[in-house]
Structure 1
Amino acid sequence: MSTRAVEENAFDHDVIVVGAGFAGLYTVIHAARRGLRVHGIEAAPGVGGTWFWNRYPGARCDVESIDYSYSFDPELEREWRWSERYATQPEILRYLEHVADRFEARTHYSFNTRVTGASWDETAQCWHVDTDDGRRATAAWLVMATGPLSTPIVPEITGRDSFAGQILQTSAWPSEPVDFTGKRVAVIGTGASGIQVIPLIAEDAAEVVVYQRTANYSVPAFNFDLDDAEWATQQTGLARRRELSWKSPAGSPWSSHLEPFADLDDEAREAVFNEAWQRGGVLFAKAFRGQTIEREINDAARDFFERKLAERIANDTTRSALTPVGHALGTKRICTDSGYYETYNLPHVHLVSLRTEPITEMTPAGITTTAGAREFDIIVYATGFDAMTGALTSIEIRGRDGRLLRDEWADGPITLLGVGLPGFPNLCVLNGPGTPSVFANMALTSEQQGRFALELIDYCTNAGYSSAEARADAAEAWTQHTQDVAHATLFGSSDSWYTGANLPGKARAFLPYAGGFDQFCARAEAVIDNGFTGFVLSER
C-alpha cells in the first residue's frame, strides 16, 4: 500500500509503531490481531529494518537462520525454507517481506515516511507524532521499534567531504550493484560489516587499503548450504530447539560446555575450545561457562584464538596488527567471517593501523595519514552506529511537561526493563537500552519485547487506565541493576559501542542487559503477572 495513498484519518489510531524490522512487524501484526487500531511508520520504502538498509556485499546474520526467525506461527515456520546455515541479507529481507505479505502488515504502514518528532498531550492523553511530509499522527500509545543499530556514524575527519571519488556506507548501501573491478578502494572500519565486506571487495578491486582503529576477534562462520536432509533434521527438532532458545541466555539452542573449566586438563580444554571453534562465529564465546566473567578462562580462549590466527595470516607484522588487544575476548561482539583474515595474504590488500598511523586529512584524491598520502577511487565507511540510543535521541521526543528525551538521557538512559521511561507515558521502546537486544537472538527478543508492550496496552485498556509510565525509582533500580550485572563480568572493563565508547561525547553507560535473555524474560513475566508493578497506571 503506497504511503501517499493513506488517508489523513488513518493516523487516528490506538497504537503507532515506528519501524518495520523484526520488532516493528511483530508488534503491528499482533496489535491488529488483538483488535487494536494500529498504524506503522517507516522511513524506508519497504519492510526489513536493518536488513533493508545494510545491503553491502557479504552482509549476513551471525545467528543461524533456523533460529533467526519468528516462532509465533508454526505454519510460518514450516512454509519458509532457508537455504543456508547463516542467511544473507537478501534472503532475510525476502523472509521479512514474506511475513509482511502473509499477515497483511503492509496495509497498516506508511512507508517513505520519517518521524521527526513526537509529543505527549497530557490533556488528551495521547501522542502526537510528526512526520517529514508535514502530517501529524495521533494515537494513545507510541511504540518505538527503531532498532539498536540504525543510526550510522561517520567520523569527523578534516576534508572529509572533499573526496571526489565514490563514497559508500555499509549501513546505507545502494540498491544497485557496485562495480569494484580494477578500482582502488579504501575501507574505514573493521567491525562486523567491515569484516564481512572486505573479502568480497578484494575479489575484484585492484587495491584495497583497510584503515583499522581497533582489531576485533572474528571466527569463521563455517557456513554451508542447507540440503534437504539437513533441513528435514532441523524441522524434526525445531520444537525442542525453540524451547531451548527461549530458556537460554542468548536466545539460541547452543549452550556452554557442562564441565567446569577448572575440572579439565589442558588436553580436554583444547578439545572444548576446538569444538566451539568449529561451531563458528559468536558461539566460540560460549565455549565454557564463565568465559566472559573469569579472566583465566578468557585468557585461555584468547590464547586458542591467537594460535588459530597464526594459521590464517602469513605476515607477522600484519598478524600482530590484527591481533586484538585491550579487551577480553567476547566483550566486543565476536564477528563472524568468511575468509576475512586470509584476505590480508593477498598482495593487493594492505592494512593501516590508525593507532600508529592516524588519518590527518582527506583530499579530493584520497586519504592522508601521518605516513603519507594514498589515492583512491572509492572510499567505504564501515564505521558503526550510535548504538542503542541514537535512533531515539535523534528524534524530538517530548514527554510530560515538555521534557526532551535527548536531555533526559544526556548522562545515560534510564529505563524500566528497557521498555518504560519515567516521564514518558504510553511510550514503549523495543530492543533499546536495558534489554538483551544485541546480546541475544533479536528475532526472539523482538517477539518478547513486542508482546510485553501489547500486554501493557491491553492491561491498561481493559482496566480503564488511560496512561502508564515507568515509576522513577523502579527505572533507576533497573538501570542500576543492568550496570551492576555488566560490571560483575569482563564486559565492564572493555570500551566498546556497548558503552557508547565509539562515539566521542556520548555518556558512558553499559547499554544492553548482560544478565541473559532467559533471566530477562523471567523478570518481564513477573512484572506482567503482578499487574505491571513498577509502572504508574493512571485514569483520565
Structure 2
Amino acid sequence: MSDAAPDFDVLVIGAGFSGLYALHRLRQSGFRTRVLEKAENVGGTWFYNRYPGARCDIESIEYSYSFSEEIQQDWVWTETMPAQPEIEAYLNFVADRLDLRRDIQFSTEVVGMTFDEQAAAWTARTGVGESFTAPFVVAASGILSVPLEPDIPGMANFAGTSLFTSRWPKEGVDLTGKRVGVIGTGSSGVQLIPVVARDALQLSVFQRSPTYTLPWQVRPFEPGELDEMKARYGEIRAAQREHPIGAARLSAFSVLLDMLASPPLKAAPREDQLRAIDENGILGALNWSDIFFDIDANRMAAKLYGEAVARIVKDPETAASLVPDHPFACKRPIIDQGYYQTFNRDNVTLVDLRKSPIREVTTTGIRTENESHELDVIIYATGFDAMTGALSRIDVRGRDGRSLREFWASEGPLSYLGLAVAGFPNLFTIQGPGGPSPSSNFVAALEQHVEWISDCLEYLRANGIRTIEALATAQQEWIDHATSLVAATVLLHPSCNSWYNGGNVPGKKRMYMGYTGGIPEYRRRCDDIATAGYTGFKLA
C-alpha cells in the first residue's frame, strides 16, 4: 500500500438492512463511508430471495428500523407479517428518504480484502479489478445471503427450466400448466410449495429432511389498526428493547419462549396429550417445556406431532413421511400457511428422499433410486451457508496474511461477541458467529450492532487509536460462554443438522453459532465492555 491517504474512513460490505443503517449512522458520526454492494440495488437477502411466498416470521411493525420516528410513521405496512415485495420496497423507501444511494456503489462484488499492518488500513478488491482503501471495514454481508448450491449429477443436462429460490427472476415465472419439482422443504420450500401448487399442473416435492412448522395466520391490517399501533410506537419499541428476542409481539420465536412456561410432556397423561392436539393441532403437539432439554421428551413430541399431521394429511403414507426425525427447535421454526393441507391436493406428490434418494437430474426430469419424474421445471430450495458463508467467500487476509476462510474452516466459526475476529484488526462483523441474530429479531439485533460499532469508531477517533483487534483469549471465552447456554438443550444433539450449527454444510466445522442469552443481556455485556475501555480488545 502506498503512503497516499485512504479513499474512505470506513468501507461497508453489503446494502441490506445492516449496511443501510451502518451507512446512515456512520455518516451521522462524520465518517467518510462507502458501501460496496454486489447487487444492482439495495435489499440484501430481500433483494435476491423473491420466490413466491417469501415472507418474514416477525410482525412488520417490529421487523423494521426503530432509529427514525419519521420513517416508522411515514411507511405504511399492509400486512401483519410482511412479504418479500413489501420488505424490498421498504428498504428502497429508506434508502431514498435518507439519501443513501449516493454513497453506495452497486454491481460491485468484493472478492478480496487485505490488511496492511504498517498503514493500519484495509484494501478491498472487486471482481472487475477496482480497489478501495479504508482504515476500517464493516462487514454487513448478511447471515443468510450465500445459498447452498446442490451437487446433483446431471443438473446442467436438464432441458427444462431450472430455478433457485435464492435468485428468483425479478420478472417472475409463470408455472401455470407446468410439471414442477421442488427440491428442499426448509423455510423457502415450506413458503413456496403451497403457492406453486395452486398454479402447477403437477407438483412433485422432493423432501430431503421433513421439517416442523408453526401454523400461522397472516392477514391485512384492518382499517385504522396500523394507525393505532403507530400511535403506540414508543411503547412497542420499549417493549422490544426489553424482550429477549427483540420482538415483543407475536412471532415464531415468541411462541418458542411461551412453550418454556408450559407443562412437561413426560408428566402429561395420554388424555392431556390428545386434548392438546384436539384443541391446538400441530402447535399443541409441541407446546411442552421439557422438549427443549430432554431428547426423550422431544421424541415423544415428534410422535404426537405425527398424530397431528395425520389429522390434516389424508394419505397415511404421505403423512408419515412428513414427520421429522430431528429434534424440534434444533432448526429455526418455520411459519406455515397451509403447507400440510397442500399434500391433500390431487396435483401434489411427496417424494421421500430418505426412502428413494436422488440419483441424477436427467434431460427430462429427476431420477431417484426407485423411479423417474418427468418435469418441465425444477426449483432448488436448498438452504444457505449461514453466518460465515458470505465472508468466507471473500479472500479476507488479516494480520500476517492470515486467511479468515482457512481460520474458520480449521478452528470453527469463532468470533468475539459476533463483532470481531482475532487476527483481523479493524474488521467489524455485523451478526457474526456468537451474535444473537439466529435466535432473535434480526433488525433489532443489527441496530444494536451498528450503534455499538459506530460508538466504538468514535471512541477510537477521539483517542487517536489506529487499530482495534479482538484478543484470542476473549474470543474463546465468549464462544465458550455462548456454547454453555445451549449445552443442556437439544440444539447440540448429534441428530441436529442445522444452519444454526453448520451441520447443513458438508465439511463445515460443527459449532452452535448464536447467542441465546437474549438481546437485553447481550446489549448489557457489550455496553459493559465498551464502558471499561473495550475489554477483550487490543487497542493500539
TM-score for both structures, normalised by structure 2: 0.92
By how many angstroms is 1:303 displaced?
A: 5.7
Counterpart residue identity of residue 533, structure 2: G
By how many angstroms is 1:275 displaced?
A: 9.1
Taking only aligned residues, the RMSD between alpha carbons, in angstroms, comes to 2.5
Instruction: Please give the residue correspondences for 1:403-442 in structure 2 after superposition, counting only pairs within 5 Å.
Output: 403-411=402-410, 412-442=412-442
By how many angstroms is 1:438 displaced?
A: 2.4
Residues 338 and 537 of structure 1, relative CA distance in 2, 3 Å threshold: same
1:70 to 59, 65, 71: 65
Residues 272 and 516 of structure 1, relative CA distance in 2, 3 Å threshold: farther
Distance 1:430 1:260 in 2: 34
Instruction: Please give the residue correspondences for 1:217-232 in structure 2 after superposition, counting only pairs within 5 Å.
Output: 217-232=212-227
Residues 173 and 260 of structure 1, relative CA distance in 2, 3 Å threshold: closer
Distance 1:284 1:444 in 2: 30
Q: Alignment partner of 1:514: what SS?
A: coil
Instruction: Please give the residue correspondences for 1:260-271 in structure 2 after superposition, counting only pairs within 5 Å.
Output: 261=263
By how many angstroms is 1:73 displaced?
A: 1.3
- Residue in 2 aligned with 1:315? 315
Deviation digits for residues 281-316 of structure 1 (CA, Å, limit 9, x no counterpart): xx997x566652355775675566444323321111
Distance 1:70 1:271 in 2: 41
Q: Alignment partner of 1:12: what SS?
A: coil
Distance 2:367 2:15 in 1: 40
Asked whether the equivalents of residues 414 and 479 of structure 2 are also in contact (C-alpha less than 8 Å), the reply is: yes
Asked whether the equivalents of residues 306 and 320 of structure 2 are also in contact (C-alpha less than 8 Å), the reply is: no
Q: Alignment partner of 2:400: what SS?
A: helix
Instruction: Please give the residue correspondences for 1:452-531 in structure 2 after superposition, counting only pairs within 5 Å.
Output: 452-493=452-493, 494-531=496-533
Unmatched 5+ stretches in structure 1: 1-8
Distance 1:346 1:441 in 2: 34
- Residue in 1 aligned with 2:33? 38
Distance 2:53 2:337 in 1: 9
By how many angstroms is 1:229 displaced?
A: 3.3
Distance 2:220 2:452 in 1: 35
- Residue in 2 aligned with 1:537? 539
Instruction: Please give the residue correspondences for 1:129-208 in structure 2 after superposition, counting only pairs within 5 Å.
Output: 129-208=124-203
- Residue in 1 aligned with 2:293? 293
Distance 2:196 2:536 in 1: 50
Asked whether the equivalents of residues 273 and 301 of structure 1 are also in contact (C-alpha less than 8 Å), the reply is: no
Q: Alignment partner of 2:101: what SS?
A: helix
Distance 2:473 2:197 in 1: 53
Counterpart residue identity of residue 113, structure 1: T
Q: Alignment partner of 1:232: what SS?
A: helix
Residues 353 and 454 of structure 1, relative CA distance in 2, 3 Å threshold: same
Asked whether the equivalents of residues 46 and 87 of structure 2 are also in contact (C-alpha less than 8 Å), the reply is: yes
Asked whether the equivalents of residues 486 and 515 of structure 1 are also in contact (C-alpha less than 8 Å), the reply is: no
- Residue in 2 aligned with 1:6? none
Q: Alignment partner of 2:363: what SS?
A: coil
Q: Alignment partner of 1:46: what SS?
A: coil
Counterpart residue identity of residue 64, structure 1: E
By how many angstroms is 1:21 displaced?
A: 0.9
Asked whether the equivalents of residues 500 and 508 of structure 1 are also in contact (C-alpha less than 8 Å), the reply is: yes
Q: Which moved more, 1:89-98 or 1:495-504?
A: 495-504
Asked whether the equivalents of residues 281 and 308 of structure 2 are also in contact (C-alpha less than 8 Å), the reply is: no
Counterpart residue identity of residue 211, structure 1: F
Distance 1:350 1:519 in 2: 46
Structure 2 residue 373 is matched with structure 1 residue 378: no
Residues 70 and 271 of structure 1, relative CA distance in 2, 3 Å threshold: farther
Residues 348 and 436 of structure 1, relative CA distance in 2, 3 Å threshold: same
Q: Which moved more, 1:229-238 or 1:416-425?
A: 229-238
- Residue in 2 aligned with 1:345? 344
Distance 1:153 1:93 in 2: 22
Q: Alignment partner of 1:261: what SS?
A: coil
Q: Which moved more, 1:336-345 or 1:466-475?
A: 336-345
Deviation digits for residues 232-284 of structure 1 (CA, Å, limit 9, x no counterpart): 34224332222222222211104544856259977999999899889x8xx99
Counterpart residue identity of residue 504, structure 2: N
Structure 2 residue 396 is matched with structure 1 residue 397: yes
By how many angstroms is 1:336 displaced?
A: 0.8
Q: Alignment partner of 1:526: what SS?
A: helix
Distance 1:334 1:465 in 2: 43
Counterpart residue identity of residue 490, structure 1: V
1:93 to 88, 92, 97: 88
Distance 1:316 1:43 in 2: 47
Distance 1:314 1:179 in 2: 29
Asked whether the equivalents of residues 191 and 382 of structure 1 are also in contact (C-alpha less than 8 Å), the reply is: yes
Asked whether the equivalents of residues 438 and 500 of structure 2 are also in contact (C-alpha less than 8 Å), the reply is: no
Deviation digits for residues 503-533 of structure 1 (CA, Å, limit 9, x no counterpart): 1111111112223223222211211121111
Q: Which moved more, 1:267-276 or 1:14-23?
A: 267-276
Q: Alignment partner of 2:188: what SS?
A: helix
Residues 132 and 298 of structure 1, relative CA distance in 2, 3 Å threshold: same
Asked whether the equivalents of residues 148 and 388 of structure 1 are also in contact (C-alpha less than 8 Å), the reply is: yes
- Residue in 2 aligned with 1:5? none
Q: Which moved more, 1:255-264 or 1:343-352?
A: 255-264
Q: Alignment partner of 1:39: what SS?
A: strand
By how many angstroms is 1:59 displaced?
A: 0.5
- Residue in 2 aligned with 1:105? 100
Distance 2:236 2:304 in 1: 29
Counterpart residue identity of residue 111, structure 1: F
Deviation digits for residues 96-121 of structure 1 (CA, Å, limit 9, x no counterpart): 11111111111110001100100001
By how many angstroms is 1:140 displaced?
A: 0.8
Distance 2:108 2:360 in 1: 36
Unmatched 5+ stretches in structure 2: none
- Residue in 1 aligned with 2:325? 325
By how many angstroms is 1:340 displaced?
A: 1.0
Q: Alignment partner of 1:520: what SS?
A: helix
1:239 to 234, 255, 279: 234
Residues 20 and 268 of structure 1, relative CA distance in 2, 3 Å threshold: farther
Distance 2:26 2:363 in 1: 51
Deviation digits for residues 163-184 of structure 1 (CA, Å, limit 9, x no counterpart): 1111100001110120111111
Counterpart residue identity of residue 217, structure 1: Y
